[in-house]
Structure 1
């Protein structure tokens, strides 16, 4: 009989310390975020179990890569940087490497992703792109060698996969309500790209807030745009062509809001003197822009951490499909100088 013991896992440490695996990961990667008492218990559990981050020997025995693949829609978008950083730190603590696939490049993204797994370069996938066809995803997760998958950031409708997102619709309603509470009754929305679930949810939240406040809905104040600064500039051009203009704008994200405000300034329209603008995401540039941008802060670090932890837990044996669920993290309203009370 084979008496060899399986190497200790982070689940073993969590069990000995009587905490969650997420708490163990946090204690090892960001100890300042864990209480001294909990850190001491986890440290003792690490010593008792013999847990180590060096998983090379296990990888060789099991013919796995000990690497996870993260697929993103556009690596140029700075929004993803904090999410990727959190994923990489969580993976490193758990003894895994990270590969990044930029889905903006090339055609047939699902086939491109499949190649990583057929060549044994990755063991599982964190997908940050909600535009991927669900039928194709089901095919690669139900193949002879199924691909473990966690969806994050952009949900995919009718998906049965574990999903971690933020509260896009309710957060957008709160952002619009912020403008209403400042006394604005003429409010427009800088929309996101077509056929994008995040854009759809944020438009729904905006619309719900307008209706709830019994304000008049103006379709001409819904400006075509997207997630990039140049698309915010394009929305500003639409705004400038109007004779009847809103006094406040909820923008799909910070980058488009900054492009929008910059173009209006060039036309002599100042924010917040002439128009209030609120964005979404709280990118680093938002607090340094002139004026500093009001926004909805997404918990991007937590999102990345939870997505990576869920995938690695699955890879390490926690494969109860009944646990697959959608987690919606709450965004925070950040009030800055770009939104002003109506005088």
Structure 2
């Protein structure tokens, strides 16, 4: 005789977690009202017991909540502003709302995302970053979370998630080739954050352009950075300490490029007379800085719109049989006043 297994209930979860059913309910519906330790016990109990939210209720929720969760590494970063705006516009046009999770405030980012999904506040996740553990993210796609997930801006290798991003390596090549075409042969690179996939891709593009043109990548002309203005400012001090300096710099993003130029100005170095600088992103401040910044313009609005469109298509089962989507958008070189031909005495050979 076949033994029928009892479907796990909220009472089973409560017993396993050694809390009341009311506490389990609060942990699912209003996680901010229970302690982090209690949320952790409830989440573990759900995993072990195999408890899932009533599927009919979940289907009803998916028709009424109509909200997507956008999680980003740091909401203070101006890079994300136009992406968020485009996501919200696309979501609104299709009848969805948007919640934003600032992961820089979370001690355990994955746990915070789990809380959002179990509390029924959002139907799907759009992640603007690739630094989270892939196994933990994959777990979000399984019961009890069952979260449709799309990545944007950064890719997680071999994750299998849908992703919308830009051509970081190829764009970095074009930025570096712009400096080479102007006649620069002594070129350095202001690095992005260590271990960041985007920073690695932009360094790879810089390196390829240099090697393809028969130019050496000098290790002492690779300046440490982390995508922030302060790191660019600090790199300027290292630049000034060099006995032999590059005549041009490709910076991993606009913020660090602006910090670098600001630091050089303190030492009387004038751009582009003494040095040419190319940034990356084309932030709103780039054309208004002095000098206006030459940069690679990422199609951030398009990236946000397409990522939101992809996630909502998943929620609405549009083309359910399709495989993983990997959309790579092209960036544009925007030439402004921060790049010029090198001074003849500095041009080199």
- TM-score category of the 2 structures, normalised to the smaller one: 0.7 to 0.9
When normalised by structure 2's length, the TM-score is 0.80
Deviations 1:62-110 (A, max 9, x none): 1231100000000000000000000000000000000000010121101
**Match in the other structure for 2:264:** 264
Q: 1:213 to 1:317 in 2, by over 3 A?
A: same
Map of 1:36 onto structure 2: none
Kept in 1: contact 2:114–2:145 (CA 8 A)? no
Name which of 52, 60, 64 aligns with 1:62.
Answer: 60
TM-score by length of 1: 0.81
Separation in structure 2 between the aligned mates of residue 319 and residue 238 of structure 1, nearest angstrom: 53
TM alignment of 1:135-284, pairs within 5 A: 135-284=135-284
Task: Please give the alpha-carbon distance, in whole angstroms, between the structure 1 residues aligned to 2:274 and 2:319.
Answer: 55
The SS at the match of 1:290 is coil
1:10-159 → structure 2 map (5 Å cutoff): 62-64=60-62, 65-159=65-159
Look up the SS of the partner of 2:239 in the other structure: helix
SS at match of 1:189: strand
* 1:235-280 per-position Cα deviation (integer Å, ceiling 9, x unaligned): 1111111111100000010010000001101101111010000000
Shift in Å at residue 320 of structure 1?
2.7
Unpaired runs of at least 5, structure 1: 1-58
CA–CA separation in structure 1 for the residues paired with 2:301 and 2:124: 20
Largest Rg, 1 or 2 = 2
Query: How far apart, CA to CA, are the structure 2 residues paired with 1:184 and 1:142?
Result: 52
How far apart are the structure 1 equivalents of 2:277 and 2:114? 42
CA–CA separation in structure 1 for the residues paired with 2:275 and 2:145: 55
Question: Would the alpha carbon gap of residues 321 and 222 (structure 1) be closer, same or farther in structure 2, given more than 3 Å must change?
Answer: farther
Runs of 5+ in structure 2 lacking a partner?
A: 1-56, 345-349
Residues 231, 259 of structure 2: 8 Å contact kept? yes
Aligned length: 285
Correspondences of 1:312-323 after superposition (within 5 Å): 312-318=312-318, 320=320, 322-323=322-323
Q: Deviation at 1:60?
A: 10
